[in-house]
């Protein structure tokens, strides 16, 4: 057997002294929990990069830590914080009542089912057969993996899907249609002009690219399942005792 023994002088005495000091125990627990939360955030971000296709910084930064003694939100998705539930410690995704929040984006991948309609989809105002859309496979993406904002705004402007307020806030250079670039709604074969379409396309000179496609379903299958709770639980089971033991040993070495 290959074994190693570590001796600490007066270990029993130091252990009793430590146990009789509630303040030190509390500090050790809080410190271990806080460092475990940091580990949870880092682990969840790594997991998202492996599970999702090019997750945006908005999603990666959307996961936050609830640290011991700090309270924190308990609504909705965040009731199921990963990690430990002692003094409200764990992680959660940011949620905003209006607009597309990180929680809205991630939640369907965890629980399945439909996602919430995006504000950009609502602006299309029924111009497509489905209220939900997916980006064209070959359409150019920005650094975050989305449609460049200037192109999307130009498309809405050409399709008269932009409000008067939004149009007035556009730079004058964007209010004019760029030469050789146009956007239009593609309808099904035999469909009438002006009826809801199946996609929105961009024509740039002689090139035609699909910008958006009407989505048939907004459900998420098991292939994109993000095991948010399982990942967090495993990380907490590893990190919490490691940090607690290290902090306790540091305190005892100073006695």
Residue 1 pLDDT exceeds 90: no
For residues 39 and 240, give the distance between their C-alpha atoms in angstroms, rounded to a whole number: 9
**Shared domain check, 249 and 201:** no
**What is the 3-state composition of the chain as percent helix, strand, coil, each rounded to the nearest 5?**
45, 15, 40
Number of domains in the chain: 2
Residue 210 pLDDT exceeds 90: yes
CB neighbour burial string for 144-170, b if at least 16 within 10 angstroms, e if fewer: eeebeeebbbbbbbbbebbeeeeeeeb
Residue 127 is assigned to a structural domain of this protein: no
Element (H, E) at 15: helix 11-19
**Shared domain check, 180 and 236:** no
**Shared domain check, 102 and 16:** yes
**Shared domain check, 232 and 107:** yes
Q: Mean pLDDT throughout 194-223?
A: 80
**Shared domain check, 233 and 189:** no
**Shared domain check, 84 and 140:** no
**Shared domain check, 81 and 58:** yes
For residues 103 and 76, give the distance between their C-alpha atoms in angstroms, rounded to a whole number: 9
Domain interval for residue 235: 11-113+226-253
**Shared domain check, 17 and 62:** yes
- Which is more confident, 14 or 35? 35
- Which is more confident, 205 or 6? 205
Residue 69 is assigned to a structural domain of this protein: yes
pLDDT (tens digit, 9 = 90+) per residue, 99-157? 778 888 888 888 876 666 777 788 888 888 888 888 888 898 876 677 888 888 888 88
Which residue's entry shows tokens 């008067």?
A: 164
**Shared domain check, 236 and 189:** no
The reported pTM is 0.56
Q: Which residues contact 44 (CB under 8 A, 6 or more apart)?
A: 63, 82, 91, 228, 231, 232
**Shared domain check, 101 and 25:** yes
């Amino acid at each position: 057997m290959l074994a190693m023994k570590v001796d600490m002088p007066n270990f029993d005495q130091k252990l009793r002294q430590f146990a009789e000091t509630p303040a030190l125990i509390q500090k050790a627990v809080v410190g271990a929990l806080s460092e475990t939360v940091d580990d949870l955030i880092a682990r969840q971000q790594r997991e998202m990069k492996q599970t999702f296709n090019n997750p945006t910084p908005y999603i990666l930064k959307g996961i936050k830590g609830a640290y011991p003694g700090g309270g924190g939100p308990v609504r909705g998705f965040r009731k199921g914080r990963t990690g430990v539930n002692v003094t409200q410690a764990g992680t959660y995704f940011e949620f905003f009542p209006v607009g597309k929040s990180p929680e809205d984006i991630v939640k369907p991948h965890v629980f399945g089912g439909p996602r919430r309609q995006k504000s950009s989809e609502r602006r299309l105002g029924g111009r497509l057969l489905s209220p939900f859309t997916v980006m064209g496979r070959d359409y150019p993406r920005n650094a975050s993996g989305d449609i460049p904002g200037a192109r999307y705004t130009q498309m809405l402007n050409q399709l008269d899907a932009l409000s008067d307020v939004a149009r007035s806030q556009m730079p004058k250079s964007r209010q004019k249609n760029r030469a050789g670039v146009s956007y239009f709604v593609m309808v099904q074969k035999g469909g009438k002009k002006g009826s809801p379409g199946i996609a929105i396309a961009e024509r740039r000179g002689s090139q035609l690219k699909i910008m958006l496609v009407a989505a048939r379903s907004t459900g998420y299958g098991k292939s994109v399942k993000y095991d948010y709770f399982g990942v967090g639980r495993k990380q907490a089971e590893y990190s919490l005792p490691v940090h607690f033991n290290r902090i306790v040993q540091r305190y005892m070495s100073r006695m």
